[in-house]
Amino acid sequence: MEPEFFFGNFKKAFLGKMLPSEVIVKAYYEFKSIGAKFGGIYFAYTPIWIPLDTALIKQLLQKDYWNFAGRGNFYHHKNDILTNHWAFSEDAGWKSLRAKLTPAFSSGKVKNMFHIIDRVGDQAESKVMDLCKRNQPLNIKEVQACFSIDVIASCAFGIDSNSLGNPNNELRQHSRKLFTPNFLSRLLEQFVNWDVLNFLGYSGLGKDADNFFVKLISDMINYRDRNNVTRQDFLQLMLNLRQKENTADGNEKKHSCP
């Protein structure tokens, strides 16, 4: 697909008129309409290969995935602590995190968190019904966003953020920043060498968001450790994993030769 100068095929995404995923989906259907087995587009000057043929996709996922594990997202685990997870990690780092976290997403463990999602769903239903009874306008996008934030806060951090009741709370504000497109950040991450950005201490997600979420998670971990509190949520799964790794490291040191 013919790219445009400076933007590649993502001009509308850079300008905030489309999501990057929408650009890729649009390109996919254009390639499919001409019967192509694969196609290519550019994100600024970075080439993106789009496979369409099922045999190619099968080979990629089963045999050659190691060569396609990169996600193209700017990350730096020191300057951007929030990018220190498998959605941003690549290659060996991604493989290590995947091996550790995959057991945490078993059907049984996810099922244990369903009652949390169900409770937040009841709150969302009450919010919608209340607006309808008072003949107030309903911004379904905002309700869905607040519902998602409350589910994530409860399942991941074990806290009741109540974004449905208070859409302007601190958690909602910082979460909104994470998902708000930033034109300048996109330009820097595509046209400036990442090593230079890392050296300059650049943070793609923003220091305020980094500091807020790091403090939030640290406070929750310290509270649970001090008070011996356990919950059926994702944070507890991570704490159990940490304890398991610490125990394994201790046993390894105990049985190692001096």
Q: What is the pLDDT of residues 43-67, one digit of tens each?
A: 877 888 899 999 999 998 888 877 7
Show the domain range for 35. 1-68
d(CA 251, CA 96): 20
3-state secondary structure of 153: helix
Supply 65's token pair: 């995935």
Residues 51, 124 within the same domain: no
Our count of domains for the chain comes to 2
Tell me the sheet residues that pair with 48: 41
Determine the pLDDT at residue 255.
Answer: 41
pLDDT score, position 90: 66
Find the CATH number of the domain harbouring 174.
1.10.630.10
Domain co-membership, 62 together with 96: no
Structure tokens at 249: 């490291």
Residues 85 and 33 in one domain: no
Residue 237's pLDDT is 81
Is 189 in the same domain as 127? yes
State pTM to two decimals.
0.62
DSSP string, 202-237: --SS-HHHHHHHHHHHHHHHHHHHHHT---SSHHHH
Angle between helices 207-227 and 234-255 (to 10 degrees): 70
- Are 20 and 43 contacting, i.e. CB atoms less than 8 angstroms apart? yes
